[in-house]
């Protein structure tokens, strides 16, 4: 039976990376080496460090991290790319005699890696251009209404301004004639635990705050700290390149899109902050929705006892993986 692969998940800002580093340090004391596989759709992009809370150079030097800084912001990186890369990396890490640890909050990546996708077509530039043209007339809330008519299940979990995911759901329908939610249902294993379809037995530690308001406060404080750390200047560097725009997945990332609007002069600084706060709250809400549908061990990271319990369960899984 294959060794379990541990995955640490949770909404943004709850301390997933900190827990992973603590686990890696403790394992190293026991002469076990962990390599972290980042499961984050923004960390893949070079030049996006502050707004993504990317592990510092020292942290990356201390523990091997994978799938960080592997794309230019002008490029795309998909769930399918992650699923393929993660599977290959896990095998390579295990061949080295080390322990893979999957860490992040991009839950679509998790699903692609664990469940696999059935019949999902690749992106089609012509279809996307047509959808962008339609969105220019209707607005993305109008496109969300259109999606609700053909795929109410998918529409119910998306915000009306979530242009990237609305576009993808409409694109899939245009290319296949089937709702995205139906194709998800046809993916192997409704729970993701069917060994016929999984190359690895996946154990999930989920950090989920029980007090949503406390999470919101932390997220606002975190964004304020990013601003103090010159986040706007980081975005300005991207903005002044001249080849990037808000239709790119990198620039659509939470925080970056709102800062981009500020640099374009579309909103003032206080409005930018409030829009970024709201977008971050919406992201965390979507992540929690994904998590609640998963088989996992959930712990409140804001409760010291539960966080210690999470660490204990994680260590037990990692030690079992090493044997």
Q: How far apart are CA 66 and CA 205, in angstroms?
A: 19
Q: Write the CA distances from 134 to 121, 138, 160, 208, 256, integer angstroms.
A: 21, 6, 15, 38, 24
CATH of domain 214-283: 1.10.287.890
C-beta of residue 105 within 8 angstroms of C-beta of residue 9: yes
For 271, the enclosing helix (H) or strand (E) is: helix 269-292
Residues 127-145 pLDDT 10s = 999 999 999 999 999 999 9
- Locate 54 and state its tokens: 């990317």
CA distances from 107 to 63, 83, 100, 264, 273 (A): 23, 12, 18, 31, 25
Give the SS3 label for residue 211. coil
Q: How confident is the model at residue 246 (pLDDT cuts 50, 70, 90)?
A: confident
Q: 229 pLDDT exceeds 70?
A: yes
Q: For the chain, give the percent of residues with pLDDT over 90.
A: 70
User: Are the beta carbons of 44 and 77 closer than 8 angstroms?
Assistant: yes
Asked whether 34 and 230 are in contact (CB, 8 A), the reply is no
pLDDT of residue 196: 40
Give the number of other CB atoms < 10 A from CB of residue 90: 23
Please check whether residue 303 is in contact with residue 290, taking contact to mean a CB–CB distance below 8 angstroms: no
Q: What is the mean pLDDT of the chain?
A: 90
Tell me how far apart the alpha carbons of residues 69 and 82 are, in angstroms, rounded to a whole number.
13
CA distances to 50, 224, 297 from 228, rounded to whole Å, are 10, 6, 35
| Whole-structure pTM value | 0.80
Backbone phi, then psi, for 53, in 5-degree steps? 55, 45
pLDDT of residue 175: 87
How far is C-alpha 156 from the chain's CA centre?
A: 19
Band (46; pLDDT cuts 50, 70, 90)? very high
pLDDT at 193 exceeding the cut of 60: no
Q: Are 69 and 49 in contact (CB under 8 A)?
A: no
Q: What is the rounded CA–CA span in Å between residue 55 and residue 71?
A: 16
Q: What CATH number should be reported for the domain whose range is 4-119+192-211+291-322?
A: 3.40.50.300
Q: Is 90 exceeded by the pLDDT of residue 111? A: no
Tens digits of residue pLDDT in 85-110: 999 999 999 999 999 999 999 998 99
The 10s digit of each residue's pLDDT in 47-64 is: 999 999 999 999 999 999
Domain ranges across the chain: 4-119+192-211+291-322, 125-183, 214-283
Whether 226 shows a pLDDT value over 90: the answer reads yes
Per-residue confidence (pLDDT) for residue 191, from 0 to 100: 38
Selected from 1.10.20.140, 3.30.530.20, 3.40.1390.10, 3.40.47.10, the CATH number assigned to the domain covering 125-183 reads 1.10.20.140
């Amino acid at each position: 039976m294959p060794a379990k692969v541990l995955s640490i998940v949770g909404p943004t800002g709850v301390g997933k990376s900190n827990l992973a580093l603590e686990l890696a340090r403790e394992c190293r004391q026991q002469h076990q080496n962990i390599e972290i596989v980042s499961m984050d759709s923004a960390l893949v992009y070079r030049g996006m460090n502050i707004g993504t809370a990317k592990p510092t150079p020292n942290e990356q030097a201390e523990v091997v991290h994978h799938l960080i800084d592997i794309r230019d912001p002008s490029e795309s990186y998909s769930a399918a790319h992650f699923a393929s890369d993660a599977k290959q990396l896990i095998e390579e890490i295990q061949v080295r005699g080390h322990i893979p640890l999957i860490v992040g909050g991009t839950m679509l990546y998790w699903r692609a890696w664990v469940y696999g996708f059935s019949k999902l077509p690749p992106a089609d530039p012509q279809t996307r251009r047509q959808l962008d043209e339609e969105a220019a007339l209707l607005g993305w809330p109008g496109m969300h209404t259109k999606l609700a008519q053909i795929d109410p299940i998918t529409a119910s979990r998306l915000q009306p301004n979530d242009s990237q995911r609305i576009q993808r759901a409409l694109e899939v329908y245009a290319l296949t004639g089937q709702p995205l939610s139906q194709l998800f249902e046809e993916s192997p294993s409704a729970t993701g635990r069917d060994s016929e379809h999984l190359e690895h037995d996946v154990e999930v530690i989920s950090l989920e705050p029980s007090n949503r308001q406390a999470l919101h406060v932390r997220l606002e404080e975190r964004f304020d700290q990013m601003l103090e750390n010159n986040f706007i200047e980081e975005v300005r560097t991207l903005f002044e390149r001249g080849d990037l725009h808000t239709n790119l997945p990198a620039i659509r990332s939470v925080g970056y899109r709102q800062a981009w609007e500020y640099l374009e002069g579309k909103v003032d600084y206080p409005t930018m902050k409030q829009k970024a706060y709201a977008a971050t709250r919406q992201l965390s809400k979507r992540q929690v929705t994904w998590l609640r549908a998963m088989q996992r061990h959930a712990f409140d990271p804001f409760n010291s006892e539960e966080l210690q319990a999470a660490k204990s369960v994680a260590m037990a899984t990692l030690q079992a993986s090493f044997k």
